[in-house]
Amino acid sequence: MKKDQIQTKRVYDEPADSDGYRVLVDRLWPRGIKKEALKHDLWLKEITPSSALRKWFHENAEQWAEFRQRYYAELDDQPAAVQQLIDQSQQQRVTLLYAAKDEQHNNANVLRDYLRAHAK
């Protein structure tokens, strides 16, 4: 798999043809966007951080490495959803959509790295 076959993008950024298969990877629907207005192919809630982990990270944002480790452990327990995205990325580019303001420290980037590491 090419490195850029799985990418991340904020839901508030304009969609592009080069996005390919667009997957919302936030547990909560993004604020200020109507469901029919978001160009996406799938909302994959089961691959998002658990509510408990999401709340923990919101209160402990400085503990980025710990969040990554905990989220990786949760992803290990979701093999079907992980494989679904890996399989899709074998066919076309997959864009993981997220709403967080922080473009570096968010669950979509952790998920992207996890998928890249687990793709064969």
Compute the C-alpha angle 37/40/43, nearest 5°: 110
Cβ distance 96 to 47 under 8 Å? Answer: no
Confidence (pTM): 0.94
For 3-48, what is each residue's pLDDT tens digit? 679 999 999 999 999 999 999 999 999 999 999 999 999 999 999 9
Q: What span, in angstroms and rounded, lies between the C-alpha atoms of 25 and 99?
A: 9
Q: What span, in angstroms and rounded, lies between the C-alpha atoms of 15 and 18?
A: 8
pLDDT for position 2: 65
As for how many domains the chain has, the answer is 1
For residue 39, give every residue at least 6 positions away whose Cβ sits within 8 Å of its Cβ, in sequence order, or none: 15, 22
pLDDT for position 6: 97
For 59-97, what is each residue's pLDDT tens digit? 998 999 999 999 999 999 999 999 999 999 999 999 999
pLDDT band at 1 (very low <50, low <70, confident <90, very high): low
Give the residue numbers spanning the domain of 37: 3-118
Give phi and psi for 36, each to the nearest 5.
-75, -15
